[in-house]
Amino acid sequence: MNKDVNGKTRGTVLDSSPCPPRVSLVIPTLNEAENLACLLPTIGGIVDELVIVDGRSTDGTVEKALELRPDAVIVREQRAGKGYALQAGFAACSGDIIVMMDADGSMAPAEIDTFVSALQAGADVVKGSRFLQGGGSGDLTGVRMLGNAVLTRTVRWTFGGRFSDLCYGYMAFWRDVLPFFDEEVGGFEIETFLNVRALAAGLRVVEVASYEEHRLSGESNLSAIKDGYRVLSTIVRERRRVRRYRASLGLHRPDLHSGSPMPHPVIALREHRSHAGIPATTLTSASGSAVAGVAVAAVVSEGSALRGHAQ
């Protein structure tokens, strides 16, 4: 048996053929019964574990989920907020890979294959981008597009990396990187928090093209102004955290493109994956895989940005 960075068992080494990673899919819900009726039947066999995190729905969301997927893990989150729901879902996952997606039908489950391929190719974190070739959106308003562009550039200027789409919640990562995301975050700023922490921790981040459809039904809880402010506050808070950490090491002027070695915990978790019998491809093959029209991958961070920040 092999252990992850927390000392927990990750998997068993097989004698001959490597075992594929188990994939857990986390979907936060709040009155999404109608959307789940369309979404859940389209989830493919690549998903080994479905985790539904419900925030006190009153429309029969949980009942609909169990009707369509009796094997689903149901987590009931009493606190309001997408961030709390997702982090509760992460804690309930048992798979090697965690994928997070919305319940409104705007994200295509067929794209999960591309996310998983990029992780197997060597990425620690993979996020969807609506602005890479092959991606797009039928739902972005002018205000949201402008806000996303400003916040994306702010993160690139502040933390480094080459994000093209910061505020998009279709993401996947290896479960053993969860210790880097150890702070509770309540709202829609959760995506920014995960992205910034990944950069600061020296994780290898890759974007893959993704297409965002219109929400199938119902109204979004996203507020462009209020949630934009919360995203900006998260960026500022995390930047201060990084500065305090670096100051404690006597590194007052960080080089965002340093060639210094990876922090040991990052190296260790990658070694555990390789020893756990999980098959790997190459980033080239992940970039070239065409799943539901998605065929583009871009490396956001090779793991050099703000290295040495691993908690």
- Tens digit of pLDDT per residue, the chain (311 long)? 444 445 444 444 444 557 899 999 999 999 999 999 999 999 999 999 999 999 999 999 999 999 999 999 999 999 988 999 999 999 999 999 999 999 999 999 999 999 999 999 999 999 999 999 999 998 788 888 898 899 999 998 888 888 999 989 999 999 999 999 988 887 888 999 999 999 988 899 999 999 999 988 877 766 777 777 888 888 888 888 888 876 776 665 544 444 333 444 555 566 666 666 666 554 543 333 333 333 456 777 776 433 333 33
For 104, 170, 245, the CA distances from 113, given in Å and listed in that order, are 20, 13, 37
For 40, 83, 104, 251, 264, the CA distances from 28, given in Å and listed in that order, are 13, 9, 10, 39, 33
Cβ–Cβ < 8 Å for 125, 177: yes
Q: What is the pLDDT of residues 148-187, one digit of tens each?
A: 899 999 998 888 888 999 989 999 999 999 999 988 887 8
Matching CATH number, 13-301, of 3.40.190.10, 3.40.50.2000, 3.90.550.10, 3.40.50.2300: 3.90.550.10
User: To which H or E segment does residue 282 belong?
Assistant: none
Q: Considering the entire predicted model, what is its pTM? A: 0.79
Residues 194, 179: Cα–Cα separation, whole Å: 11
Q: Give domain limits for the chain.
A: 13-301
158 closest CA partner among 14, 305, 9 = 305
